[in-house]
Amino acid sequence: MFELLEKVGEALKSKEVMIVTAESCTGGMIAEYLTSVAGSTAWFDRAYVTYSYESKEEMLGVNKQTIVKKGAVSEACVIEMAIGALQQSHAGISVSCSGIAGPGGGSKDKPVGTVWLAWAMQGYDDVVTQCLHFEGDREQVRRQATEYALLGVLKLLEKL
The residue segments making up the domain with residue 60 are 2-157
Tell me the C-alpha to C-alpha distance, in Å, between residue 149 and each of 61, 81, 96, 103.
21, 14, 8, 21
Q: What is the pTM of this model?
A: 0.97
Please tell me the distance from the alpha carbon of residue 5 to that of residue 154, in angstroms, as a whole number. Answer: 10
CATH of residue 137's domain is 3.90.950.20
Q: What is the pLDDT along the chain (160 residues), one digit of tens a residue?
A: 889 999 999 999 999 999 999 999 999 999 999 999 999 999 999 999 999 999 999 999 999 999 999 999 999 999 999 999 999 999 999 999 999 999 999 999 999 999 999 999 999 989 999 999 999 999 999 999 999 999 999 999 988 7
Total number of domains constituting the chain: 1
